[in-house]
Structure 1
C-alpha cells in the first residue's frame, strides 16, 4: 500500500474514534473524505479496501461506507494460518495455541466457580447431554456443541472482548486441526463428554481448584492425542 493510502487509512480510523462512531454508523461520502483528507479517489479506495479487510469499515455498494463490525475474524485467520505454516514446518505451533487456550480457560475458573447463574448451568448440562447423544449417534462430538459449551461457560463474565478472544482461539485451533491432516488419534467421545461434565460439576460446586484441574485434564487429553501424531 502506498504511503498516501496508508495515511488515509489512519485518518479514517482517527475520524471514527473522534466522532464516537460505532458498528453500522455511516461514514462521510467518498467525495467528502477525499476533500477532508486531500487525497485522490484511488488512494482513498485503497485505504477503505484495506480497512474493510480488517472489518473496520464495511463498503455497501450503492449505499456508501459504514463502520464495520470490528470482529476478531482477521486475527483468527492470521493465527490459524501462522499455526498451519508452523505445523507444516515441524514447529510445535499447534501446541503453543493449545497452551494459550489452556492458560486463559484455567485462569478463569476462579472467577467462575460458584458464580454461574442457574440458567447457564442448566444450559451447560444440556450441552453435555447433547455431547453424549452425538457420541452415541455419530461417534464424535459436533464442533458447534463444543464451541457452544465454551461460549456458555464464560458468558456470565459479561466481558465481550474476553468472550470474543476465547472464541477466536477456539476457532483458530479447530481450523488448524481441519487443515493439518492426520492430527493425532481421534478423541474418545464419551471420555471427552465426561471431561466437560466434570468442569460443570466443579463450577456448580464452587470448587475453583477442581474446576482448574478438570480444565487441565481436558487439555492434557488433547495434548496427548496431538503428540501421538
Structure 2
C-alpha cells in the first residue's frame, strides 16, 4: 500500500471511529503525523486528496477541518466527472436515471408534505400553454429536482441532481425534434403529480419509469 493511501485510511478511521467529527479541526501536522506513525509528506498528500473530495477543508492560515460530510458535498465530485462526459455516455446516465428516479418518485408519494405537493403542482401550472423549449426544459429540471428532494433521502437527491446535467441536452434535442414531446411531457408530469398527491407510490413509480424510459428510448433510436 502506498504511504499516501495508508495515511488516507488512517484519517478515515479517525473520522469513522468518531475521533474526528464533522467540523473538528485536525491536530497540527507534526503532531498528527507522529500520532499516526506517518511521514509529514505522506500526511500532506492524504490531506490534499481528502480535500479534493470534500472530506477535509483546508483553510489557509487557520488549519484543516473535517467538513460537514453532507451528501451534497461528498457527491460534488460526481458532478465534476459528468461534466466531462461524451455524447454517447448520455445513454448510461439515462439508464441510471431510469433506475433511481422511479424509486425517488415512489418515496416522494409517501413522504412529501401536502404543502410540497401543492408547490410541485404550482411548478407545472407556471408553464405557458405554448412554452419555448428552454422554458419547458427549465420547468422539467425544477419538477424533477423537487421530486428528488421530496424523497427525503439526501443521498438519493444528490445523486439525481448530479445526473440531471448530462441529460439536459438530450431533453432539449428531443423537444426540438420529436413531434408532441412537449405535450407528452406535460401529461406525464401531471400523472406523476396526481399519483403523488393521492399517495399511490407504485403508480407514481410506474409513471416515472414511463417518463424517463420515453426519453431514453427516443435517444436510443436517434443515435
- TM-score of the alignment, normalized to the shorter chain, above 0.5: yes
Counterpart position of 1:90? none
Which of residues 114, 119, 122 in structure 2 aligns to 1:118?
114
1:103 aligns with 2:99: yes
Counterpart position of 2:214? 221
CA separation in 2, counterparts of 1:40 and 1:115? 49
Which of residues 105, 122, 127 in structure 1 aligns to 2:123?
127
CA separation in 2, counterparts of 1:8 and 1:57? 13
Q: Check conservation: 2:188, 2:207, Cα contact below 8 A.
A: yes
Which of residues 111, 126, 133 in structure 2 aligns to 1:139?
133
CA separation in 2, counterparts of 1:208 and 1:9? 41
Specify the SS of the correspondent of 1:65. Answer: strand
Specify the SS of the correspondent of 1:66. Answer: strand
Specify the SS of the correspondent of 2:134. Answer: coil
Cα deviation for residue 120 of structure 1 reads 0.9
Which of residues 148, 154, 164 in structure 1 aligns to 2:158?
164
Q: Output the TM-score relative to the length of structure 2.
A: 0.78
Specify the SS of the correspondent of 2:65. Answer: strand
1:94 aligns with 2:90: yes
CA RMSD of aligned residues (A): 3.1
Deviations 1:143-175 (A, max 9, x none): 55434322322434432222222323334544x
Cα deviation for residue 49 of structure 1 reads 0.7
**CA 1:95–1:28 in 2, change beyond 3 Å: closer, same or farther?**
same
The gaps in structure 1 that reach 5 residues or longer are 88-92
CA separation in 2, counterparts of 1:50 and 1:116? 37
Which of residues 81, 84, 103 in structure 1 aligns to 2:86?
84
Q: Output the TM-score relative to the length of structure 1.
A: 0.76
Q: Check conservation: 2:111, 2:152, Cα contact below 8 A.
A: no
Q: Check conservation: 1:55, 1:68, Cα contact below 8 A.
A: yes
Aligned length: 214
Specify the SS of the correspondent of 2:38. Answer: coil
CA separation in 1, counterparts of 2:79 and 2:48? 19
The gaps in structure 2 that reach 5 residues or longer are none
